[in-house]
């Protein structure tokens, strides 16, 4: 049983059936609320499989930061970055880090139809040494003006839409990447459990 109308339910199904489980993003100490919100919303727009993040101080993605976009993205806080990279490599993901280095390539030269983790460094120092150590591809977005780099949230959007373009051309949005079990479990959460919880919070707030 679902607590949403048919149109809303179909929208939820479409999100899950087109979700790119093998395209993921890791925010490596990104801390600006504005950047966090922009990155989350772009990840939602491209329908990435999962968004990982870590901060000096553990924070929670919430409505205040993401305007609700985080509700539709699978996201996870990372405590142990070394283990995280070791596990993602075992799963066959290529790690793509934005970095100006001697072996950096144009971001469009990467094959994003492969299982890919895009790593975004923080606004001041860029990607951490650990992220650089595990990078399979170091990419740059060409700049022809005075600025040397784009804002991290803008860079994320540029790279993700190149990934979306490549995957669309290959028909990867036309067939599900998630298992039917995960799809049904998520639908139950979005269209039933989350609505019940929201109503309970509303009632408690009204009482207080």
Annotated binding site for S-adenosyl-L-methionine: 98, 141, 150
Is-contact 28 187, C-beta < 8 A?
A: no
DSSP 75-97: EEE-S-HHHHHHHHHHTTPEEEE
As a whole number of angstroms, the distance between CA 41 and CA 95 comes to 21
**Chain-centroid distance, C-alpha 170:** 20
If 0-12 CB within 10 Å is exposed, 13-18 middle and 19+ buried, where does residue 139 land? buried
Buried/exposed 170-207: b ≥16 CB within 10 Å, e otherwise: eebbeeebbeeeebeebbeebbeeeeeeeeeeeeeeee
Which residues belong to the annotated binding site? 98, 141, 150
């Amino acid at each position: 049983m679902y607590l949403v109308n048919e149109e809303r339910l179909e929208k939820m199904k479409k999100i899950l059936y087109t979700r790119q489980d093998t395209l993921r993003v890791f925010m490596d100490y990104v801390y600006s609320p504005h950047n966090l919100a922009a990155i989350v919303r772009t990840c939602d727009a491209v329908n990435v499989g999962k968004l990982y993040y870590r901060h000096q101080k553990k924070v929670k993605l919430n409505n205040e930061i993401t305007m609700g976009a985080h509700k539709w993205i699978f996201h996870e806080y990372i405590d142990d970055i070394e283990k995280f990279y070791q596990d993602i490599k075992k799963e066959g993901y290529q790690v793509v880090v934005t970095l100006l280095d001697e072996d950096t390539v144009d971001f469009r030269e990467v094959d994003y139809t492969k299982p890919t983790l895009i790593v975004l460094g923080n606004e001041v120092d860029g990607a951490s040494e650990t992220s650089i150590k595990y990078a399979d591809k170091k990419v740059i977005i060409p700049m022809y003006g005075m600025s040397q780099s784009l804002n991290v949230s803008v860079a994320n959007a540029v790279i993700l839409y190149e990934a979306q373009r490549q995957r669309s051309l290959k028909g990867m949005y036309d067939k599900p990447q998630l298992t039917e079990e995960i799809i049904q479990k998520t639908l139950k959460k979005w269209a039933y459990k989350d609505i019940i919880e929201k109503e309970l919070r509303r009632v408690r707030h009204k009482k207080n």
